[in-house]
Amino acid sequence: MKDIKNKYDQFRKKYSLPKLEELTKEFAVKLESPDLILHDIVDKIKEEILDKAKTLESIIFIGSSDEPSILYEANMLKGKREKIFAFYKKLMSIVWNGRKVETSANEEDMVKFIKETHNDWTKNLKKEFIEICKIFENKWKDASLREATTEMMYHG
């Protein structure tokens, strides 16, 4: 583990990357191989962003066979779908950029992805995601049981 931290510190100094502790805090980064440090970080960031996008995706793109919680949450979005979809698009763009960077395996591209995504997440995206979470947190407090789930079905 010490080898991995030392190797990351070399990358951090060379490229002005965020501290490993910061990446761990924001993206649950856990490094396992000193040879794949940048790959591991890019992959973990991409996966954490994708997880948040998938959470929103199930609510934005509703289907008749979705779980009741999703149907309720889709109804909670009235008037906010476009805003949440715009946020979802930002997340998916990051995910695809991460996939591109992983595939290219170019050190400078990986470093750029890590720096830019960490910066964007900590300064903007995290705050936006928390606000979306608050919307659902508060809406769930006022939710009531409906007799027919067909009332809740999304019809475009």
Question: So what's the pLDDT on residue 108?
Answer: 97
Question: So what's the pLDDT on residue 9?
Answer: 95
Per-residue pLDDT tens, the chain, 156 aa: give them.
Answer: 788 999 999 999 999 999 999 999 999 999 988 899 999 999 999 999 999 999 999 889 887 667 888 888 888 888 888 999 999 999 999 999 999 999 999 999 999 999 999 999 999 999 999 999 999 999 899 888 876 555 555 445
Query: Smallest Cα–Cα separation from 91: which of 143, 123, 56, 59?
Result: 56
Question: So what's the pLDDT on residue 63?
Answer: 73
CA-CA distance, 3 to 14, in Å (whole number)?
Answer: 17
Confirm if 8 and 20 have CB atoms less than 8 A apart.
Answer: yes
- DSSP labels, 100-128: HHHHHT-HHHHHHHHHHHHHHIIIIIHHH
Question: So what's the pLDDT on residue 10?
Answer: 95
Task: Report pTM.
Answer: 0.86
Domain boundary assignment for the chain: 40-152
CA-CA distance, 42 to 139, in Å (whole number)?
Answer: 34
Contacts 24+ apart (CB under 8 A), 31-40: 31/4, 31/5, 32/4, 33/4, 34/3, 34/4, 34/7, 37/4, 37/7, 37/8, 37/11, 38/11, 38/107, 38/110, 38/111, 38/114, 39/102, 39/105, 39/110
Q: Compute how many other C-beta atoms are within 10 angstroms of the C-beta atom of residue 52.
A: 20
Longest pairwise C-alpha distance within the chain: 61
